[in-house]
Amino acid sequence: MRFITFIILLCLGIAGSLAQNSADEEFEDTQDSIRLNPDIVFGSGDDYIHVPSFIRKKTNHIRLNGADWSRLSEKLKPSSDNPLVIVHIGDSHIQAEIGTNVTREMLQLRFGNAGRGLVAPLRLAGTNQPRDYRFESTGHWTAEKVMRAPWSHPMGFNGTSISLNGTESDITLSTSREEDDDEYNPFTRITLFHSGEMKITSIIDNATGMPVVFNASSPDDGQTDIALWTPVENATVSFTTSSPFTLFAALISGERPGVMYHAIGNNGATYSTYNRIGSTARGVAALNPDLIVLSLGTNEAFGSLDLSGFTRNVDTLVKDLQSNNPDALILIVTPMECHRRIVRRSRRRRATSYSVNTNILPIRNALLRYASDNGIAVYDWYDIAGGSGASDVWIEAGLFGKDHVHHTATGYRLHGRLFYEALEELLTD
């Protein structure tokens, strides 16, 4: 009898152990919530940017692959009346504009400040917004998320869309920094990109409280140009509309020579994201770009990897941009190594660890091949940042955030400085 009882207890123990093991689960987390809503800390914005020894400074160059960039430097000659226009398209690394702000400021300090450029109502759309401009409204708006298609309202070429609930509202645009009200970057022209008709009723200079004399016109459907008779840095534009109205972005400029650096970034975006929007290339054409920079590829590295499909998506976007912007040059930026999160779940606990995202390297190599095969310039950030193993070094140096995907403010500022140096080298050659 005792023997039978022992056998029964032993079987129950084995069954329990098997049940426990079957409940254990290990999987690679796609980190969708982190990539769509990154926790990026802006930092203090100190001017000094240290370049660590592990950065491969000798490779910090743009590989032209036969492309002729000589016409870009022509725009920067003193005799030129038109600015050099750069459009930088990317994902969450670009949306916060920590790195691109460094690149923009250094280029404009070197060659002249043509104005802030493209700004978007990101905060009104419920997401993070760069800190060097304000885009506000007292109206009530309904936002669409570019990563949540299909959309109920038109989607902007830049991946931002807010639709007005009503027939009148206002837009306040300011180029004064949140942390530095003494910063002065005046503008004399505003271009609003939208769907639906709008009529500008008044513009107020918020620094003085006085009305601003202006001329408004609509040269193209979905675009309203406003010329201000006096420069401002903080203005409220009031308007009415008689049709469904959706706002995408605003271009604010000083109508000065130098460099105009636009940035279009969306959390979680991929090459296919901008292809799905459908109007990205046409919208970019309204910015009259001389150079279009593509910084994408990180988000494609999460989940299953289809390199053939990835290359097709790259080609679709590049060809669309080239077709709509025949005079613009293209520059592809490769993503640097990052980590992916590994989650192990059991009945009793959940353990999280990180390991190198091995999909990044084949994506980088695919971009290098595509650029070489198609005579497109490339900035190999993967190699410049340190190549294989760089993510561990960056984490140790405090240049990666807690999610091991996004950089800290210091990391982004480092990237911005290095990218400026590579651009400046070619623009002055």
Domain shared by 273 and 211, yes or no: no
Q: Write a three-state SS string for the chain.
A: CHHHHHHHHHHHHHHHHHHHHHHCEEEEECCHHHHHCCCCCCCCCCCCCCCCCCCCHHHCCCECCCCCCHHHHHCCCCCCCCCEEEEEEECHHHHCCHHHHHHHHHHHHHHCECCCEEECCCCCCCCCCCCCCEEECCCCEEEEECCCCCCCCCCCCCCEEEEECCCEEEEEEECCCCCCCCCCCCEEEEEEEEECCCEEEEEEECCCCEECCEEEEEEECCEEEEEEEEEECEEEEEEECCCCCEEEEEEEECCCCCEEEEEEECCCCCHHHHHHHCCHHHHHHCCCCCEEEEECCCHHHCCCCCHHHHHHHHHHHHHHHHHHCCCCEEEEECCCCCEEEEEEECCCCEEEEEEECCCHHHHHHHHHHHHHHCCCEEECHHHHCCCCCHHHHHHHCCCECCCCCCECHHHHHHHHHHHHHHHHHHHCC
| pLDDT for residue 24 | 53
Domain boundary among 226, 255, 284: 255
| pLDDT for residue 29 | 58
Which segments in the chain show pLDDT lower than 50? 3, 6-10, 12, 14-23, 44-45
Domain shared by 265 and 347, yes or no: yes
Q: Give the domain CATH number at 44.
A: 3.40.50.1110
| pLDDT for residue 23 | 46
Residue 93 lies in a domain: yes
Residue 13 lies in a domain: no
Domain shared by 194 and 144, yes or no: yes
Domain boundary among 255, 287, 316: 255
Total tally of structural domains belonging to the chain: 2
Domain shared by 208 and 262, yes or no: no
Domain shared by 162 and 271, yes or no: no
Domain shared by 249 and 265, yes or no: no
Residue 1 lies in a domain: no
Residue 15 lies in a domain: no
pLDDT digits (tens, 9 = 90+) for 214-264: 999 998 889 999 999 999 999 999 999 988 999 999 999 998 899 999 999
Domain shared by 277 and 203, yes or no: no
Q: Give the domain CATH number at 244.
A: 2.60.120.260
Domain shared by 180 and 279, yes or no: no
Residue 199 lies in a domain: yes
Domain boundary among 255, 279, 308: 255
Residue 8 lies in a domain: no
Domain shared by 164 and 87, yes or no: no
Domain shared by 105 and 158, yes or no: no
| pLDDT for residue 221 | 85
Residue 5 lies in a domain: no
Q: Could you give the percent of the chain with pLDDT greater than 70?
A: 87
Domain shared by 130 and 68, yes or no: no
Residue 11 lies in a domain: no
pLDDT digits (tens, 9 = 90+) for 186-204: 999 999 999 999 999 999 9
pLDDT digits (tens, 9 = 90+) for 23-56: 455 555 565 655 566 655 555 445 678 999 999 9
Domain shared by 108 and 166, yes or no: no
| pLDDT for residue 46 | 55
| pLDDT for residue 342 | 82
> Which residue range forms the structural domain that includes residue 190?
119-255
